[in-house]
Chain A
Amino acid sequence: MNRQWKNHLDQLIFLGPACLLLAMFLLAPIVVNFLVAFTEMAQTIHFDNFPTTRQFEKLGKLDSDALFGFELRRSFFKALALSGTFVFFTLLFFNLSFALILALTTTAMPERLGSFFRAVWLLPRMSPSVVYGLLWLWVVDSSERGLFNQIWTFFGGETLNLRLDFSMAVIVVSNGLIGASLGMVIFTSAIRSIPIQLFHAARADGAGSFALIRYIILPALRWPISYITIYQALALLVSFEYIFLIMGPARQTMTMAMLSYTKTLAPQIGGGQYAYGAAIALILIVIGIIAALGMWRLTKMDRLLQRPRIEVR
C-alpha cells in the first residue's frame, strides 16, 4: 500500500462517518426544506406543483402600499409578535440577567456550596423534557391541588388558572429556569479564568464587591455575554418542545416554531401540512444561518480554531 493511498484511507476512517452523518441529517435537510417550502406537499409526501409560492402567500401578501412592500397575514403576524415577546423576556430576565446573578453569587462563596447551588439550577436541564413539562403542568394546575395554587391560597389568594390567564409568563418562566443554567455555567467558567491576582490587587486598593464586578468581572465577560445573547436568542426563537409539552397547541403561545410544529409533526394534532410548516421553518432557518455566521464573525469564534476552550478538570 503506498503512502498517499494510506493517508486517504485514514481520512476516510476518521472523518468519513462524521461527514456522512452530517451531510445526511444536517446539510441535506436544509436543502430539502428549501425545496419543500415551494411545493404544496400536504398529507402525502409528493412534490406537488413545484415551484409555487403558495405557502408564503399564507404568511403574507405583496402590497406596494405597505411599509416593507408586503403585508403579513394576521395569524402569522401574531405568531411573529408572540415569538418576539417570548424571546425578549426570557432572554432578558433569565438567560442573561439571572444567569449572571447566579454566576456572580455562586462564585463568591466557598466552592462546594457554590457548586451545590449550580447543581440545583442544572437539574431542570438534566431532567427529561417530558418530566419537566409534567412538573410544570402540576405546578400551574388550575385546581387547588396545583402547587402554585396551594401556596397562593395559603396566602389568601383565589385559585388562578395560570395556563389560561398568564400563558406567556408560564412559558417565559418555564423556559427561563432551563435557560439560565447555560449562561450560568459559561459565565462561571469565564469568571474563574480571571487571574486571582487582579482581585487581590483591587481589594488592596480598596475596591468593594460592586467595584470588582463593575471594573473586573463585567469587562472580562463581554464576549461570553454577547455570545450567550445571540446563541440563546436563536435557541429560544426555534424552541417549541417545552411550550408544546406545557401549553399544548394553545393559541396564546402559538409562536412561529410552535406554528410550524403543530401544523406538521406534533403527535396527535399534527396536520401533516409539510409545505406550510417548511415555509415557516425556512424563515427560521434563514435567521439561524445569518445568526450563526454573525456569531462566528462578531465574537471572534475563530479563536476556537487555534486554542481549545473547553477544559475538564
Chain B
Amino acid sequence: MTPDQVEENRTIKWQKAAIRSRRRRHWKLAALTIFLSVVSIPILLAYLWMITIAFTAKTGGVETATLWIAASILTPTLIIYAVIHNIEDLPNKRRWGWGLIGVGFAIGVVLLWDEFHLGNFRFMINPNLVEDIRGVATAGGQFPWVWEAFFNSLFLASVQTVIVVTVSSFAGYYLSRFAFTGRSLFLQSLLVLQAFPAITLVIPIFLIVYWVGLVNTIYAPILVITALELPFFIFIMKGFFDAVPWDIEMSAMTDGASRRQAFRMVILPQVRVGLIAVGVFAFIKGWEEYVFVTGLTTGQSYTVMSTYLYYVSEDVMGVDYGIVAAVAVLYLLPALLLYLACQKYLTQMTLGGVKG
C-alpha cells in the first residue's frame, strides 16, 4: 500500500458524515413539525370553524361541508408553510410564507364563494337584534345594540389600561430606585400578593363595591381588575426600571433635571417596551372580563361584549349559530389583532411574568 492509500483509510469521511447528520436533522425536524401540527389542529380547527360559520351559515342550520372545505385548504397550506421553514437555504422565507397564505386564501375564496355572505353580521347595522330574529315584541326586547356593548368594553379596557400602566410604572419606578423604610417588606408582601389567587375574593369584593356605592357602575370592574393585576404588573415594571442604568438618570440630574423630570423625560422613554407589554396584557384582560362584570352588577345595568355575547348565545343559540359566531368574531378580533401585533413582546416574557 502506498502511504496515500493508508492515509485515505484512516481518515473519517467527513463529507459523508456531514450529509448523514444533516439528513438526520431534517428527519427530526419533520417529525417534530408533524407532531406539533397534529396536536395544534384541534385548536386551529375550532377557531376556523367559528370563522366559517360566521361567514357562511344561513339561518336555521350549520353547513358542515364548508368547514371541511376550509380545513382541506388550511391543512396543506400549513404543511407547505412548515416545509418552507424547514428548507435551510431558501431566500426570502417571509415572502414565501405570505405568498403561500395568499394563495391558500384565494383558493378558499374561490371554492367557498357561493356559500360566503355577510348576512350574519347584520346585527352591526341593525340596532334591534332580538326583534330581527324573533319578530316584534318578544321578551327581552330591551336588548342593546352591539356598538353600545362594544364601546362599553372599549371604555372599560382602555381606562383600565391607562390606570394600570400609570400606577404600575409609578410604583415600579419608586421601588426600583428609591430606598425607603419598609422597602423590602413592601416588596416581599407584594410578592406574596402576586402569588395569591385573587379570584377567591369575588364575594367580599362585591360587598366592598356595594358599600362604596359602585355597584352597577362600569367603574367597579375597572378599579377591581386594576387592583387585582397590580402586584404582577408592578413587578414587571420594576424589572424594566432595574434594567435602565443609573448613569442615564444621574447625568440628567447633573444637567439640572429634577427627579420627576428625569423620570418623565429620560427614564420613561427607556422602558417603552415594558409599558407596551403591560398595556397589552391589561387591555386584553379588561376586554375579556366576564366574572367581575356580571358579579358586580345586579340585573342588567350596562352591557359589555362578554355579557352581550353570553346573552346572544343563551337566547338565540338554538335559532341561529351564524349570528352568534359573527358576534364572537367581532368580539375576538380586537384582542386577536392586538395580540398578533404585540406577540413578540408577550411571548418573550420570562419568569416573574406569571399569570394563571
Indicate whether B112 reaches chain A with its CB closer than 8 angstroms: no
List which A202-220 residues lie within 8 A (CB) of chain B. Answer: 209
Asked if residues B197 and A45 are in contact (CB atoms below 8 Å), the reply is: no
Asked if residues B193 and A105 are in contact (CB atoms below 8 Å), the reply is: no
Indicate whether A65 reaches chain B with its CB closer than 8 angstroms: no
Indicate whether A305 reaches chain B with its CB closer than 8 angstroms: yes
Indicate whether B82 reaches chain A with its CB closer than 8 angstroms: yes
> Interface residues, chain A, CB within 8 Å of chain B?
10-11, 13-15, 17-18, 21-22, 24-26, 28-33, 36, 45, 102, 105-106, 108-110, 112-113, 115, 117-124, 126-131, 134-135, 137-139, 145, 147, 150, 177, 179, 182, 185-186, 188-190, 193, 209, 224, 227, 231-232, 234-235, 237-241, 245, 257, 260-261, 264-267, 274, 277-278, 281, 284-285, 288-289, 291-293, 295-296, 301-302, 304-305, 307-313
CB distance from A200 to the nearest CB of B (A): 14
Indicate whether B171 reaches chain A with its CB closer than 8 angstroms: yes
Query: Known pairs A45-B207, A113-B85, A281-B203. 16 more at Cβ < 8 A?
Result: A25-B224, A26-B196, A105-B32, A119-B343, A120-B44, A127-B288, A130-B313, A139-B46, A177-B43, A182-B354, A234-B195, A238-B199, A239-B199, A281-B201, A289-B192, A312-B240
| Other-chain residue from A106, A129, A139 in contact with B306 (beta carbon distance below 8 A) | A129
Ranked nearest first, the 7 interchain pairs of A and B with the lowest CB-CB distance are A308-B239, A235-B356, A25-B227, A128-B288, A14-B174, A29-B204, A32-B204
Residues on the A chain within 8 Å of B193, using CB:
22, 26, 292
Query: With A25-B224, A112-B93, A284-B200 in contact, is A130–B290 under 8 Å at CB?
Result: yes
Supply 28 A–B pairs (Cβ within 8 Å), ascending by A. Answer: A17-B171, A26-B193, A30-B201, A33-B201, A102-B36, A108-B28, A113-B82, A119-B343, A120-B40, A123-B47, A135-B47, A138-B49, A150-B64, A186-B350, A189-B349, A189-B350, A260-B203, A265-B203, A274-B203, A288-B200, A296-B192, A301-B195, A308-B239, A309-B351, A310-B240, A310-B353, A311-B348, A312-B348
CB distance from A273 to the nearest CB of B (A): 10
List which B171-199 residues lie within 8 A (CB) of chain A. Answer: 171, 173-175, 178, 180, 184, 186-188, 191-193, 195-199
| Other-chain residue from B44, B86, B167, B295 in contact with A113 (beta carbon distance below 8 A) | B86
Asked if residues B82 and A29 are in contact (CB atoms below 8 Å), the reply is: no
Binary interface encoding of chain B residues 205-240 relative to chain A, with 1 for a CB under 8 A from any of its CBs, else 0: 111101000000000000110111011001110111
- Of all chain B residues, the one with the shortest Cβ separation from A128 is B288
Indicate whether B33 reaches chain A with its CB closer than 8 angstroms: yes
Total interface residues on B, CB under 8 Å, equals: 109
Asked if residues A120 and B239 are in contact (CB atoms below 8 Å), the reply is: no
Asked if residues B207 and A145 are in contact (CB atoms below 8 Å), the reply is: no
Interface of A is mostly: helix
Asked if residues B203 and A241 are in contact (CB atoms below 8 Å), the reply is: no
List which B66-112 residues lie within 8 A (CB) of chain A. Answer: 67, 82, 85-86, 93
| Other-chain residue from A28, A239, A265, A311 in contact with B350 (beta carbon distance below 8 A) | A311
Asked if residues B324 and A134 are in contact (CB atoms below 8 Å), the reply is: yes
Asked if residues B335 and A25 are in contact (CB atoms below 8 Å), the reply is: no
Asked if residues B339 and A227 are in contact (CB atoms below 8 Å), the reply is: no
- Of all chain A residues, the one with the shortest Cβ separation from B338 is A126
Residues on the A chain within 8 Å of B340, using CB:
119
Distance between Cα atoms of A167 and B292 in the complex (Å)? 25
- Of all chain B residues, the one with the shortest Cβ separation from A139 is B46
Query: With A182-B356, A232-B356, A308-B352 in contact, is A130–B309 under 8 Å at CB?
Result: yes
Asked if residues B207 and A32 are in contact (CB atoms below 8 Å), the reply is: yes
Distance between Cα atoms of A106 and B18 in the complex (Å)? 24
Indicate whether B310 reaches chain A with its CB closer than 8 angstroms: yes
Asked if residues A265 and B349 are in contact (CB atoms below 8 Å), the reply is: no
Distance between Cα atoms of A133 and B291 in the complex (Å)? 13
Residues on the A chain within 8 Å of B203, using CB:
33, 36, 260, 264-265, 274, 277-278, 281
Query: With A121-B40, A274-B203 in contact, is A10–B29 under 8 Å at CB?
Result: no
- Of all chain A residues, the one with the shortest Cβ separation from B226 is A21
Residues on the A chain within 8 Å of B166, using CB:
17
| Other-chain residue from A11, A113, A131, A186 in contact with B351 (beta carbon distance below 8 A) | A186
Residues on the A chain within 8 Å of B187, using CB:
305
| Other-chain residue from B45, B174, B321, B336 in contact with A127 (beta carbon distance below 8 A) | B336
CB distance from B291 to the nearest CB of A (A): 5
Indicate whether B328 reaches chain A with its CB closer than 8 angstroms: yes
| Other-chain residue from B36, B43, B240, B295 in contact with A265 (beta carbon distance below 8 A) | B295
| Other-chain residue from B43, B67, B173, B348 in contact with A123 (beta carbon distance below 8 A) | B43
Asked if residues B167 and A18 are in contact (CB atoms below 8 Å), the reply is: yes
Indicate whether B259 reaches chain A with its CB closer than 8 angstroms: yes
Binary interface encoding of chain B residues 313-356 relative to chain A, with 1 for a CB under 8 A from any of its CBs, else 0: 10000000100100010011001100110011111111111111
Indicate whether B162 reaches chain A with its CB closer than 8 angstroms: no
CB distance from B52 to the nearest CB of A (A): 11
